[in-house]
Structure 1
Amino acid sequence: MNLLPVLATGLFAGGVSCAAVQGGLLTAMITRQRAAAGEETSPRDWRVQLGDDLAPVGGFLAGKLVSHTLLGALLGALGSVVEISVGVRTWLQIGAGLLVVVFGLAQLGVPGFRRIVIEPPISWMKIVRSRARSQSAFAPAVLGFVTVLIPCGVTLSVEALALTSGSALMGAATMAVFVLGTAPLFAILGYAARKAATAWKGRLGVVTGLVVVVMGLYTLNGGLELAGAPFSASRIAEAASSDDAPADTTAVSVVDGKQTVVITARTGAYSPDNVRAQSGLPTTLVVKSDKAEGCVRSFVVRDQEKILPVTGETRIELGVLQPGRLDYACSMGMYTGVITVA
């Protein structure tokens, strides 16, 4: 297997996609750690300072690399046996979003949240008992390790590739190379968070806190979209909109009493995103991939998840549709659509 495309996927798509969820957790932890530890006032050699600033993100990436490499080995060796359900990932994403929001409110100094700081248990710190740099990296390393439970859409695509490798070694290499590809963006995020946190009592600290809250709300909304919650952003916008655009009917065809709904997946969108179908008919959903990249490739409908090809067709049997609405989305809830059944 050629791993260069996997590296490129991590560099150009994986970093951005994963940063939407995991980057919020990382920046929130680093800024709270820095604020709790206080600000260095004595001048230090720039190389020492740089090492201290990069230690947390280095720990995060090391933990992430270990857990994803182990997952890749398991996927390569065991195939589809290793799988986290859509429902579990949805609640994990909702929980991650809430956690990031809490961190952001803590950074902003909102009463009731100010004292919230994530630190490993004291007994764990014996491992790194004497070095401040190691201590600052330890909690992010634990966080990086558990991000394997909160995958982004691009990660899921790479996991599917590891599944098809049929080899524990190649599966591990696939996931490891992907994580290394995402490293530059995470390094920038972590370093920026570390430097911003030194201005905790100033305007930059407030700006960072607001950014963390926004990232948390974005992550939370993705989970709500996947759960079909009535208070997700798309549902609220739909209810508030005065533009009652008719649902698309051109994407639906009926032949010999069987209905086919065709949706196109392109990078950054599904189209049409509102289709009107008939109730009472056995229905097949055909998703046509048109150079699809990123989260759109991880397609979720009715708690089913299909990894779409970059180019090609994926057929999903929906059974006999009942009146109502059938929502679909990418695995992170970033891109959504609805089939209106009447």
Structure 2
Amino acid sequence: MTGFLVGKLVSHALLGALLGTVGSVVQLSAGVRTWLQLLAGGLIMVFGLAQLGVPGFRNITVEPPLSWMRFVRNRSRSRATFAPTVLGVATVLLPCGVTLSVEALALASGSALVGVAIMAMFVLGTSPLFVVLGYAARKAAAAWRGRLSVLTGIVVLATGLYTFNGGLELAGSPLAASHIAHTVAGESPGDESVVSVVEGKQTVRITARTGYYSPENVQVSGGLPTTLVVHSEDARGCVRAFLVPEYNVEKILPVEGETRIDLGVLQSGTIAYSCGMGMYTGTITVA
């Protein structure tokens, strides 16, 4: 398992460097990122429904070339010392909606070093989960047999829904999970404690930490020149790709430090922001 994870880490880090380098020349717009995520999520859901044998989907299969299948099979059965490492390196060629989203983040970073860091953190962060799933799969294969296929289909379908919802969040769709939750629960009062006005200029401070932005909703005044200050505190992963689609803002936040964003004079309404995958979101309500 160690050799496999080392190989995966090396291949994904190299891919991150390549994507970051390409991103320094061609940046992905928020619109392209949104459609990429929606497409990835839709495809994953289709594969999940096919795995579950749902009528109309059960015959849909996507298989790599036979030569690739033989390579994977031989490496997985091989007792050679470096076989697991080679197999880990080869996983960079396997498509996955979540991986595509992280690759988009590396591309949007516009930096080879940041691209390496993003992909490396993705592999290191998901490695414990893969170890647990691999162990569970071996046990389940003997005990459940046919049930494993159903379980896999459910996991794939859930992953597709999660990825697709990220695209809806990026698009600001009313069908996104956060919008539906707010509609059902009602809008909570916006936090005004992070807003300050000095000499007719308004400053809004939000904090970006690994896994979330806070506060989730901020109440500000309209008609004032406004600066949004995003304070990073050990911000890692997707939360560092900060988007404000309405203002065409795309920033890569530092792990520690502050990022200042000029929003101009605000008009009444709601300004939505999110991470690059639409996984973590927040709003600024302008009264």
SS at 1:150 equivalent = helix
The residue type paired with residue 113 of structure 1 is F
Deviates further, 307-316 or 291-300: 291-300
> What's the offset of the Cα at 1:102?
1.2
> What's the offset of the Cα at 1:257?
2.3
Corresponding position: 1:328 with 2:283? no
Partner of 1:289: 232
Partner of 1:262: 205
Matches within 5 A, 1:129-278: 133=73, 142-144=93-95, 149-151=100-102, 156=106, 162-163=112-113, 181=124, 184-185=127-128, 187-188=130-131, 191=134, 195=138, 202-242=146-186, 244-278=187-221
User: Using the alignment, how far apart are the partners of 2:212 and 2:72 within structure 1?
Assistant: 45
**Which string of whole-angstrom CA distances, capped at 9 and with x for unpartnered residues, describes residues 209-262 of structure 1?**
2222112111111111111111000100101115x4311122222222222111
> What's the offset of the Cα at 1:180?
6.3
The residue type paired with residue 337 of structure 1 is G
Corresponding position: 1:318 with 2:263? yes
Partner of 1:97: 41
CA contact (8 A) 1:62 1:141 kept: no
What TM-score, normalized to structure 2? 0.75
Matches within 5 A, 1:16-95: 66=11, 69-70=14-15, 72-73=17-18, 75-76=20-21, 80-95=24-39
SS at 2:94 equivalent = helix
Following TM superposition, the consecutive aligned residue runs of length 4 or more in structure 1 with deviations greater than 6 angstroms are 60-64, 129-132, 145-148, 197-201
Aligned residues: 270
Q: Give the 3 Å change call, closer, same or farther, for CA 231–197 of structure 1 in structure 2.
A: farther
Corresponding position: 1:279 with 2:216? no
Q: Give the 3 Å change call, closer, same or farther, for CA 91–240 of structure 1 in structure 2.
A: same
Corresponding position: 1:117 with 2:77? no
Q: Give the 3 Å change call, closer, same or farther, for CA 158–178 of structure 1 in structure 2.
A: farther
User: Using the alignment, how far apart are the partners of 1:285 and 1:268 within structure 2?
Assistant: 20
- The Cα RMSD (Å) is 3.9
SS at 1:106 equivalent = helix
CA contact (8 A) 1:283 1:320 kept: yes
User: Using the alignment, how far apart are the partners of 1:64 and 1:186 within structure 2?
Assistant: 15
SS at 1:249 equivalent = coil
SS at 2:274 equivalent = strand
CA contact (8 A) 2:203 2:228 kept: yes
The residue type paired with residue 292 of structure 1 is A
SS at 2:17 equivalent = helix
> What's the offset of the Cα at 1:72?
1.0
Corresponding position: 1:107 with 2:51? yes
CA contact (8 A) 2:9 2:124 kept: no
CA contact (8 A) 2:106 2:119 kept: no
Q: Structure 2: which 5+ runs fail to align?
A: 77-86
SS at 1:209 equivalent = helix
CA contact (8 A) 1:68 1:148 kept: no
User: Using the alignment, how far apart are the partners of 1:294 and 1:176 within structure 2?
Assistant: 9
CA contact (8 A) 1:264 1:289 kept: yes
